[in-house]
Amino acid sequence: MSAVRPSLRRDPGYTGLTTPVESLPAAWYFDPAHYQRELTRIWYRNWVYLCRSSEIGTPRSYATLELGDQSLFVVRGEDGSARAFHNTCRHRGAALCRAARGRFPPAGIVCPYHAWRYNLRGELVQTSSAQVGDGFEMRDFPLYGLPLTEWNGFIFVALTPEPPPFAASFDLPLNRLDSWNLSQTVVGHRLHKILQCNWKVFWENYNECLHCPGVHPQLSQLVPIYGRALLERRDDPRWQDHGADENARYAGGLRAGAESWTMDGQPVGVLFSGLSAEDRKAGHLYMTSVPSVFIVAHVDYVRVVRLLPLGPERTDMSIEFLFRPETLADPARDITRAVEFTNIVMSEDAAVCELNQRGLHARAHRAGVLMPEEYVIRQFHDWVRAELARP
Ligand code: FES
Ligand SMILES: [Fe+2]
């Protein structure tokens, strides 16, 4: 193919790369020491999506997060506020939560080891010693608090006292999803999968559609521009040939007649009512917060895909499907046509991510090369490098 060179023409505004760009070093995808560096510099210093607010809907209910060698929990206070703490007792460091999800007793947070007791604000309210040492003050031993942001029914936490501004972790303004009224949505289905790949392999796959025509036959029909291996109109170096063409093949969005990401393109849920005509036409809106989550909003449901690293070559992926409550209350509505479609696309991506991981170990392979369509991967790599270098 490359022997036949079309005359070089790149229209103004073309988004793709114009020179080959070296990929990240191959060892960064499996070397345990580098993995630890990424945990410390990226995962422990950025906002990470933990769970939906509804998972700790009632006071005293908690949810934990295991991330690298760190364990933390979030708990709903009697005042309705959620707070995050290291899952560590101030006495001698025992873990406080026995389960991944649960509810503390009315007495509060009681350490399973020597029964130190904390209130839901993390203040130590009782020790178990007959008398305390001279100068011991309970106020000096609160739980180790962590930043928490509750936004649109999502709970994010950070393992550093001073994470970057929450809004800056997203690639779009926080209010971009306002019309979906996400805090009112309900989880209708969950998918979970352990991927045998480094977490960056997943994000690279997410950030390009060069693989779409070969890997995603159904998705390429539903989103015709993906079938051209492009994400957006200007990813085509000759985009001006069809610059005003509203056909989805050139403009992006769903094929004519389709409205949502489902098996037949028809919505499965009650539509979100406040969407703009453009959002309805596009059929999907992506909003991303690296390193842990992306949200895809459709006209009738919203998909939330969370990643957590489990090791240099293992990644936990969990997907939540959010619907309007009316959708889930209506037995005539069959959400499986949406779940099934996602399952197909996700399984296709998982399979190639795992293939990608397997090949990276070749002793001859030092780094890959990015092609023009992979300009968003380049942005991702720049971000990874910048995070690793950030003091
Ligand atoms: S370690 Fe928690 S009370 Fe001793
Ligand atoms: Fe894909």
Query: Which position has the token pair 């073309």?
Result: 14
> Confidence band (pLDDT; 50, 70, 90) for 6?
low
Q: Is 112 in the pocket of ligand 1 (CB under 6 A)?
A: no
**291 neighbors 43 (Cβ within 8 angstroms):** yes
Kind and range of the H or E element at 40?
Answer: none
* Sheet strand arrangement including 117-118: 109-110, 117-118, 124-126
- pLDDT of 5 > 70? The answer is no
Q: Is 114 in the pocket of ligand 1 (CB under 6 A)?
A: yes
Q: Distance from the CA of 311 to the center of ligand 1, in angstroms? A: 29
User: Who contacts 359 (Cβ-Cβ below 8 Å, separation ≥6)?
Assistant: 365
pLDDT at 8: 86
**29: helix, coil or strand?**
helix
- pLDDT of 137 > 80? The answer is yes
pLDDT at 4: 61
Q: Is 30 in the pocket of ligand 1 (CB under 6 A)?
A: no
Q: Is 141 in the pocket of ligand 1 (CB under 6 A)?
A: no
Q: What is the mean pLDDT of residues 311-323?
A: 98
- pLDDT of 390 > 70? The answer is yes
Mean of per-residue pLDDT scores for the chain: 97
Q: For residue range 243-295, what is the model confidence (pLDDT) as tens digits? A: 999 999 999 999 999 999 999 999 999 999 999 999 999 999 999 999 999 99
Q: For residue range 106-119, what is the model confidence (pLDDT) as tens digits? A: 999 999 999 999 99
> Confidence band (pLDDT; 50, 70, 90) for 7?
low
| Ion ligand 2: residues, Cβ under 5 Å | 349
Task: List alpha helices for 258-367, DSSP H.
Answer: 277-282, 325-329, 336-359
pLDDT above 90 covers a percentage of the chain that reads 98
CA–CA separation, 391 and 386 (whole Å): 10
